[in-house]
Structure 1
């Protein structure tokens, strides 16, 4: 029997689902956003310098162009590019840190920036302010997939600001519900709705799941110690 019930705003793998079940946590998961590649995106046959901020960005363009050097947000995204034979010049956990690296060491390059239709301003505004040349391409469209829930969850897992916006379109965050966030950018999108936020130490799906499991295992242990039976 499950001790807790959590909601993931991202579909998780069967193995990840089993991880929750093994730890007596019931998982409900759904896709809070939909990703559709932009078939009309125009790219040159070869790109010397590309800023890739997500796996979705790369997957949307990988068959349309040949990337020589990549500057990447996310460890798993960097690994994906390296497996495809692309030279990853640098990668950072967050866009703001990648931007600082580009400003400090790669100001003379001309970058291609494939991104979502609802991308954040961090990269493009930072490049503009520092007079770094770049070409922005909408590689894919992100649309919200809001769904209403009547269940009282113990925690909700968020993976992006878009996922936060999607969930909040048809739901409210109750004061006693924990919000687990994959990173600081996602947490920032929740700050005006709740202060009951826990952020994964590393912005990866695996780390977020581990954070949730660790929290509830500690809570179960604590409750067992307090029980007189």
Structure 2
């Protein structure tokens, strides 16, 4: 990926942001915080997944010698985990017993379960939003034998919590996170790259080992992503969430307001109308 270079002697922040690459899938609808950002400031916003999820084939999963039905509860921390857990069950020709309990990190993940099971007939426990919220729920069910389906790349907080509280659990890797092929972006320049996971940073350097940042602004969502940016010796220009900007789009807009030195498109229209 080509870097966005400042003019000789120019402060890297002085170069206005005119283009942004969001390293996530394009939103399902045309109306999103990013489309609003593009319209308001007249900038280009593109989307491209830097990582891909690949399911672990059942034949390979069997080598882990994990007996799914020996467990009394399943912990889901993402929709990918839900998809690949039930894919694995289907390939194994397993049907989840009615008494199986499901612990979900958020309401969004819990609702996604409806794709595979009838929720009103199941025992469902939901955290508010974060892993810490889910921990509080899990602690009330210490007699359960938990199954934690996850990726080969995952945070350590849940396994560490389970071990620290002497909870019975089995970790089962059912999908992998791999770098996407980004070779078509080799000569493409963006003023800002927005990352949402450490895997995205890894993918950047897997695809472009000679990448240099120069005036390219780097945005990161979440503390682990921010750490990955710094560990890669990159300058972190935009960090989210922040008290005044809980979303990535909001954090980028705050930066643009401070550094672009241009009125928004909406402001120009308002001036013309007066």
Shorter-chain-normalised TM-score: which range? 0.7 to 0.9
Segments of structure 1 that go 5 or more residues without pairing to the other structure are: none
TM-score normalised according to structure 2 size: 0.65
Picking from 21, 27, 47, the partner of 1:7 is: 21
2-structure distance, mates of 1:224, 1:167: 32
8 A Cα contact 2:103 2:126, kept in partner: yes
Does 1:114 pair with 2:149? Answer: yes
> Larger relative contact order (C-alpha < 8 A, sep ≥ 6)?
2
Picking from 199, 207, 219, the partner of 2:247 is: 207
Higher-Rg member (1/2): 2
8 A Cα contact 1:115 1:136, kept in partner: yes
Which of structure 1's runs of 4+ aligned residues deviate more than 6 A?
none
Segments of structure 2 that go 5 or more residues without pairing to the other structure are: 1-15, 90-94, 265-274
2-structure distance, mates of 1:201, 1:66: 41
Deviation at 1:44, TM superposition (A): 3.3
Distance 1:38 1:99, change over 3 A: same
2-structure distance, mates of 1:135, 1:115: 10
Name the residue aligned to 2:110. 78
What is the CA deviation profile of residues 74-111 of structure 1, one whole-angstrom value per residue up to 9, with x for unaligned ones?
4532332367526541325443x146425643333211
2-structure distance, mates of 1:94, 1:188: 19
Deviation at 1:137, TM superposition (A): 1.3
Does 1:216 pair with 2:216? Answer: no
Give the RMSD, CA atoms, in angstroms: 3.4
Name the residue aligned to 1:190. 229
TM-score normalised according to structure 1 size: 0.75
Instruction: Give the total of aligned pairs.
Output: 219
Deviation at 1:187, TM superposition (A): 2.0
What is the CA deviation profile of residues 92-140 of structure 1, one whole-angstrom value per residue up to 9, with x for unaligned ones?
5443x14642564333321110001222322223312322111111121
Name the residue aligned to 1:133. 168
Please identify, of 182-191 and 86-95, the stretch whose mean Cα deviation from structure 2 is larger. Answer: 86-95
Name the residue aligned to 2:220. 181
Deviation at 1:38, TM superposition (A): 2.1
